Structure 1
Amino acid sequence: MTDVPRRRPAHGTRLRRVGDGEPGVHHRVVHGYRRAFRMAGDGPALVLIHGIGDSSATWADVLPGLARTHTVIAPDLLGHGASDKPRADYSVAAYANGLRDLLTTLGVDSATLVGHSLGGGVAMQFAYQFPERTERLVLVSAGGVGREVNPALRLVSLPGAPLALSALRLPGMRLPLGLAVRLLRLLDTGLGQDAPELLTLVDALPDGTSRDAFVRTLRAVVDWRGQVVTMLDRCYLTAGLPTLLLWGDRDSVVPVRHAHRAHEAMPGSRLEIFEGAGHFPFHTDPARFRSVVEEFTRTTAPADWSRDRWRALLRGGGFGADPSLAADGRRVREAGDRGAT
């Protein structure tokens, strides 16, 4: 079988600009559901995928700068932000499918994917399902590397979570929550680093529909024992795909050791640690974040995917050429961290 040529816009190609200045929210209806997104800039496509309970607004500090050199698309995942919140499939694979279809309606054949937290898992799943449409991969404090996750997220996966989230929005809860956050910050804890951003996620769940969508999404990837899916069993497929890992060394949601674990499992990947940053390094130091992403896209060529090479990687299972990877694979299975997506 011959190689399948990669179809992508040339680097000088201009995709359609949507709005000028600060990008507003636009909508497309896909499969009967309204999908919200922000889009700005010209040049190679760069897709920013937010984390659980968040929205495209999380990228406000970096999107305009990145749009100077890229066409930036930042969607609100289904069940999040200004997108519809139906009773639907909120698995990582379903999100990857929805992202593909939204990009297709926008005329984007391939792109560099930047995924934060849950969005990192979605980006990795997209690269697995649609390698011919993935130019580069940037994983930011990404989920799916190991079981460990903040205990609060494990608790929210339990029965009764929507009611508990509703209680957190009661007026009388703001003062004690605010005091707890200030105390955690005064104690200089990792959780104190992330607590303000995590509290904004509660504010982003104003009604029962939003809370139900949040809990459905969370339960697709987390249970009371921790994360239930992993990308480690397929990391070998990123060989030849330019991959950048960005992490805060004080991440209280997904520990920084997951970054090192993913880096070891992804052939040729690059790792950038943001000292003093928590789970949102692009909030802590947006200028450095923009600089690192721009340098990465400028100095790497888009992946050159072929069906023959993909087949060879799958047949090798990632273990044939490197015995140490086989040992790592066995450890993953023995530890019970392997999950299916």
Structure 2
Amino acid sequence: MFQRALASLSEERFAIPLEEIKQRHELPDSKYLELQGMKIHYRDVGQGPVLLLLHGMFSSLHTWNDWSDILSKHFRVICLDNPNYGLTGPHPKGVYKHMYSDFLNEFTDALGVETCMVAGNSLGGWMTWDFAARYPHKVSKFVLLDAAGFFFIPPATISSLAVPFAGWSASRMKIPRKALYGSVRSLYGQPDRIKKEQLECYYDMMMRPGNRASAARVVRYIRNNVGFDTRPLKNITQPALIMWGKQDAWIPVAHAHRFAKAIPNARTVIYDNCGHMPMEEIPEQSAADCLAFLLEK
């Protein structure tokens, strides 16, 4: 009876079955790759130089759908559900120092990619500059969109995941759709721009088995390390484009200028009337700026 009680306490509740989420959100060109004990969900579209796209916290590769459509006319665009998120789901070891940059090195090796350009948003921005710093032979240029790096105070909905047992609690409670939809809308400078299907995708990916607990582990790791180690930024020599929404309510626009100052070969583009995710909120404009930068000799 005691063991049964322990098993009951450890059970995840209210998760949406993985197969159900796949039926809703797999794309016609979805692919999977077995790596580090996970089945990595990714897309690989277009031809030409490789452009790797990395999403942010609680997100998925779907955040890049518009960019993929636009930029795959010029590049081989690869986007993936990062470990601990999306259809990929939890990393067997959670998160640890250099986990993401080492994973990206193995992921690109597995796809036969010797060198690439990279763009990353929010947490994916941290992955981008850490990958560029630690594996400079792999990254020729990179783009940071409202990237994580310098200290900021996250919204309460995020910081609350760092408290003890937060992952356990989150994986046993039903997250109200309205609450999550509100959090996603707060990422936009103009919330009416977000589509209902995008909100539904965010909710379903959060409720994928294991994702609530794994997201909490990522937040706790960042909290325990007091943010990110930005010292490697000064050693980055690759050209960088820093994009930022002026109305970003999560990571202040002042951080764009801090990145530009820290990275020797960087420039910035600031968007009025845009929030935390320019690639979603203003895809045509932000993709055009990215394209011009990446094609520049």
TM-score w.r.t. the length of structure 1 is 0.70
1:130 to 130, 135, 148: 135
1:251 to 248, 251, 263: 248
Residue 293 of structure 1: how far off its partner (Å): 0.8
Partner of 1:210: 211
Find the aligned partners of 2:182 and 2:129 in 1 and give their Cα distance: 35
2:173 to 152, 167, 178: 167
User: SS where residue 79 of structure 1 aligns?
Assistant: coil
Residue 191 of structure 1: how far off its partner (Å): 10
Higher Rg: 1
User: SS where residue 90 of structure 1 aligns?
Assistant: coil
Preserved CA contact (<8 Å) 2:101 2:127: yes
Alpha-carbon displacement from aligned partner over 1:63-119 (angstroms, at most 9, x marks no partner)? 111100000000111122121424314236111111111111111101001011110
Aligned length in residues: 267
Partner of 2:20: none
Preserved CA contact (<8 Å) 1:150 1:254: no
Alpha-carbon displacement from aligned partner over 1:215-264 (angstroms, at most 9, x marks no partner)? 112222236xx952132x2221123x110001101111111111111111
1:31 to 17, 31, 36: 36
Alpha-carbon displacement from aligned partner over 1:30-72 (angstroms, at most 9, x marks no partner)? 2332111111000000000011111111111111111000000
Structure 1 stretches of 4+ with a deviation exceeding 3 A read 164-168, 177-182, 189-203
Indicate yes or no: 2:62 matched with 1:65.
Answer: no
Preserved CA contact (<8 Å) 2:190 2:274: no
Residue 126 of structure 1: how far off its partner (Å): 0.6
Report the residue type matching 2:257 in the other structure: H
Residue 274 of structure 1: how far off its partner (Å): 1.2
Which aligned pairs between 1:228-239 and structure 2 lie closer than 5 A?
A: 228-231=227-230, 233-239=231-237
2:120 to 115, 119, 125: 115
Report the residue type matching 1:48 in the other structure: L
Report the residue type matching 1:237 in the other structure: N
1:46 to 42, 47, 51: 51
Partner of 1:299: 296
TM-score w.r.t. the length of structure 2 is 0.80
Residue 159 of structure 1: how far off its partner (Å): 2.2
Preserved CA contact (<8 Å) 2:170 2:213: no
Partner of 1:314: none
Report the residue type matching 1:235 in the other structure: L
Q: CA RMSD in A?
A: 2.9
Find the aligned partners of 2:284 and 2:193 in 1 and give their Cα distance: 19
Alpha-carbon displacement from aligned partner over 1:274-303 (angstroms, at most 9, x marks no partner)? 111111111111001110111001114xxx
The structure showing larger relative contact order (alpha-carbon pairs under 8 Å, at least 6 residues apart) is 2
Residue 207 of structure 1: how far off its partner (Å): 4.7
Sort the Cα spacing of 1:259 and 1:70 in 2 relative to 1 into closer, same or farther, 3 A.
Answer: same
Report the residue type matching 2:268 in the other structure: L
Q: Structure 2: which 5+ runs fail to align?
A: 1-26
Indicate yes or no: 2:291 matched with 1:286.
Answer: no
Find the aligned partners of 2:52 and 2:101 in 1 and give their Cα distance: 12
